[in-house]
Every structure is written in structure tokens, then in C-alpha cells.
Amino acid sequence: MLESFFVKPETIDRIRALWIGEPIERYVVWLTENGYSSRTILRRVPILMHFGAYARARGAKTWDDLPAYVASFRDRWTKDHGQNCKTKRELKGVSNEVQNPIQQMLRLVVPGYTVTGRPRTSQDPFPSCAPKSFEYLRGERGLQESSIKHYGHYLRRFEAYLKEINLHNLGELSPPVLSAFVLKDSQTLSRSSMVGLCSSLRVFLRYLYRQKLLERDISRTVDSPQRYRLSCVPRSISWDEVRQMLEVVDRRKPLGKRDYAILLLLVTYGLRAREIAQMTLDDIHWKEERLRVPERKAGHWMTYPLSPIVGEAILDYIQHGRPQTSLRHLFFRVLASYHPLTHIAVSTRASYYLRKAGIPVSRPGSHTLSHTCVQRLVDANFSLKIIGDYVGHRSSSSTAVYTKVATDALREVALGDGEEVL
């Protein structure tokens, strides 16, 4: 495999003569199989050669000894090659550039090797004091993992706070303690996040009372900040701005072909980023001209007519942009190694094009385009029931929020006396 990238025979012989020559060659094979470019391979092999020499000079005798030298080699390399870096972000890039290929190679050749990094927090907080609280959420309340993840996020904050004040017995919880915690987190969390925190806290306190870990139910002492459902306007954009955003997508490249198809799915069907990330090739029925969307927000599958424009964009991406892979996911990263696109990446790409097009919107992202789809249906005078079914709303109240904005009527008021409208 080395012959495919290095022209000079002496270079290949020098690599194979190294004491880690075999791991390097195995790593090159892995990079090739996962679609990495020749440029990437040619840049990474010298780093691995330097790492092998560094570890050998400091006492490494077998491949199993190599993990002990990753951190020190990374720090030295970063110090030597990051002198011209002006920001911490640039310096971090140099560090990752040397550390990532070494760790990838070690995963191939060192049995049981795992990447060391920041210690991961246990998914379920209070493992010793309330070990079955999350079993209760999953089993009896039937919450989805995405909801449980939010509960865990907020309860870990509560767990950390109790450690700060040295309160280790949950039976000693009291309204003053809860009030102090909520007040402390209100300094850094938004209003909507505070609602989530207080809601999670109340559920947890009721569970503790039910399990007799608390003598009385103090969940009612936790008050959420008031949120008014009709106090804010959904962050949608006009259809002219949608065209403006689509025009800045460079569809000559695989990245642009992929992103163009994603943007059309967002504004045409009101899909959410998670739904797009979960789509597979099997969800597109070309003969029937149907698009199937799994696991919509309401918890069911939906089938839509496949718009010709959307279908052409998806087909263009599949034929000329999607990497060759055995996985059935529809959208992938454009750079090796090729992994399915995450919902975070989908939202990030939407945000990128909104900013690139110069469209002013608060907190731009995939939700902006989903809201735009709903708002366009409202403006077209479709019933709330039809709109809610189309975009997968659980409740009609979720759709009713869009009726606050009578865009055309407000425009007429602004341009004239508006008496006929009123």
C-alpha cells in the first residue's frame, strides 16, 4: 500500500525498516479504506515516524509502550510547530493535527487502547443516593432518551451544587437549599433553560418523596419562571430570503450538493435536524415519488409526496456527492473518515448559510427554516389541523403560535391607514 503514495523506493524501505513500520503501514491501509486523501496520508506518515523515534529514544520497546508517550510528544510537537499561532484555537489545531493520527494508529495495533481525554460524566446522576431514578423515567414515565438526556444535564448541575455545599444526604434537602440552587443557576441560564431545570428538579423531588427518601414532598416549592406562550414570534424568514439563502450555496462541490438538499428538506417539509440526520436511502421511494420521514416529533412515521425540486437535489447529491459506503444513511460528512451527519451538523450548516446570505435572524439554525415552512402554510390559509399534521406537531397549540403573525395584514397597516384591515 505504501507504493501507492511514495515514489522513491528508499522512502518505502526506510518506513518499513522502522520498529513501528508495520503499524504505520496498517494505518495507511486503514486511511485508504476510509477514504482519506493522498495529501492527508502524506502529511500524517512523517508525524508517525517522528513519534516512533521519540518513543524509542525514551525507552519504548514494544508497541504496547507507545500510549505512554502520546501526551509528551504532542506537547513537544505543539511547542515546536505552534510558535506562529496567534490564538488558542490555532494552537489547539496544531495539537490535534499530531495527536489524532497517533491515536488512530494505536487503536489499530494496541489491543484495548482507548483515547484518553476529559473524564466522561456518568449518564445518570446520584448513582448511590437515588440509583433507580432514571429507570423510573425510562420505564414508568416512558420518556425518550432525548428527554432523559435533558433531565441528566440539569440534575448533574444539582448534584454538583450539593457537593459544593457538602450536602451528601438527600434527606436533608430543604426549600432554602433548593431556592439557593435555582437562584445561583439563574445567573447563567436563559429563561427557557430555567424552565427545564425547575421541571427536572420537581420530577426528581417527587421521585425522592415517593421512594421515602424525603419525609415530605417539597417539589411544589420549586417555582419555574413565567413563560408566556404568545410572548415571542417564531424566528422564520420570508420566502424571498429563502431564495437568497439557496443562491449562496455552491452546488458545484459535493458539500454544496449535500447542503442544498438539506436546506430544501427543511423549508419544504418543515423537518427537524434530527429527522434529517436519521434519514436513509430506504426512506426515498423513487417509483412512487414518496418521501418517508421516520420518528417525527409526534412519535410516528409520515410519508410525503416527493417534490421534484427536492428529488432532483437529493439525486444529484447521491450520484455526485455522497461517498461510497455500505451504510444506508442518506447524508454524510464530506471529509474522511466518512460518518453519517449528526443533527448538530445539520443545524450548523443551516446557520452557516443564513449568515453567509446576510439574513438577520436571532439564533439562526435549522429551526429557522422549519418555522419558515410552517409560517408559509399559515399565510396560505391552511387550517391549523392540516398544518399540524403536515409538520408532525403533537398538539394544535404548537401550531397556533404561528397565527400571531398576520404578516400581510400588518404590512397593509404599515403602508396605509389600515382601517379596512382592522
Domain-located, residue 139:
yes
Report the pLDDT averaged over residues 359-379: 86
Same-domain pairing of 274 and 313: yes
Domain-located, residue 359:
yes
CB-based contact 247:263 (threshold 8 Å):
no
| pLDDT score for 393 | 65
Same-domain pairing of 252 and 392: yes
Same-domain pairing of 288 and 400: yes
Same-domain pairing of 273 and 406: yes
In sequence order, what are the residues at sequence separation of 6 or more whose Cβ sits closer than 8 angstroms to the Cβ of residue 383? none
CA 211 to chain centre: 35
> Cβ–Cβ contacts within 10 Å for residue 298, how many?
14
Alpha helices in 66-217 (DSSP H): 70-81, 88-109, 133-139, 145-164, 175-185, 191-210
Residue 392 C-alpha cell reads as 408532525
Residue pLDDT, tens place only, 265-287:
999 998 889 899 999 999 999 99
Report the pLDDT averaged over residues 305-317: 95
**CA-to-CA distance for 409 and 412, rounded, in angstroms?**
5
Residue pLDDT, tens place only, 126-177:
888 888 888 888 888 887 777 888 888 999 999 999 999 999 899 999 999 9
Residue percentage of the chain with pLDDT more than 70 = 87
Same-domain pairing of 253 and 329: yes
Residue percentage of the chain with pLDDT more than 90 = 53
Same-domain pairing of 310 and 283: yes
As for how many domains the chain has, the answer is 3
**CA-to-CA distance for 278 and 124, rounded, in angstroms?**
25
Domain-located, residue 189:
yes
To which residue does cell 496520508 refer? 41
CA torsion sign for 344, 348, 351, 357 is negative
Domain-located, residue 117:
no
Element at 292 (helix H, strand E) = strand 290-293
Model confidence at 390: pLDDT above 90: no
**CA-to-CA distance for 47 and 49, rounded, in angstroms?**
5
Report the pLDDT averaged over residues 81-99: 90
> Picking from 115-129, 278-292, 295-309, 369-383, which range would have the lowest pLDDT averaged per residue?
115-129
CB-based contact 178:165 (threshold 8 Å):
no
> Picking from 1-5, 81-85, 381-385, 395-399, which range would have the lowest pLDDT averaged per residue?
395-399
Q: At what angle do helices 175-185 and 145-164 cross, to 10 degrees?
A: 110
Nearest to 223 by CA among 273, 178, 284: 178
DSSP 8-state class, residue 128: T
Same-domain pairing of 182 and 287: no
Residues facing residue 340 across a β-bridge:
332
Same-domain pairing of 213 and 243: no
Report the pLDDT averaged over residues 3-13: 88
Residue 150 CB-density burial (10 A; 0-12 exposed, 13-18 middle, 19+ buried): middle
Same-domain pairing of 103 and 142: no
**CA-to-CA distance for 173 and 201, rounded, in angstroms?**
12
| pLDDT score for 251 | 94
Report the pLDDT averaged over residues 348-357: 94
| pLDDT score for 233 | 54
| 374: CATH | 1.10.443.10
**CA-to-CA distance for 198 and 195, rounded, in angstroms?**
5
Task: Write out the residue range of the structural domain in which residue 279 sits.
Answer: 239-415
Residue 47 C-alpha cell reads as 508525524
**CA-to-CA distance for 283 and 303, rounded, in angstroms?**
9
**CA-to-CA distance for 150 and 196, rounded, in angstroms?**
8
Domain-located, residue 409:
yes
| pLDDT score for 89 | 86
Does 295 or 211 have the greater pLDDT score?
Answer: 211
> Picking from 9-18, 205-214, 218-227, which range would have the lowest pLDDT averaged per residue?
218-227
| pLDDT score for 396 | 58
**CA-to-CA distance for 345 and 334, rounded, in angstroms?**
12
Supply the pTM of this predicted model: 0.64
DSSP 8-state class, residue 290: E
Domain-located, residue 420:
no
Same-domain pairing of 216 and 245: no
> Cβ–Cβ contacts within 10 Å for residue 221, how many?
14
Domain-located, residue 245:
yes
Residue pLDDT, tens place only, 223-256:
887 665 555 556 788 999 999 999 999 999 999 9
Nearest to 251 by CA among 267, 241, 262, 240: 262
| pLDDT score for 120 | 47
Domain-located, residue 122:
no
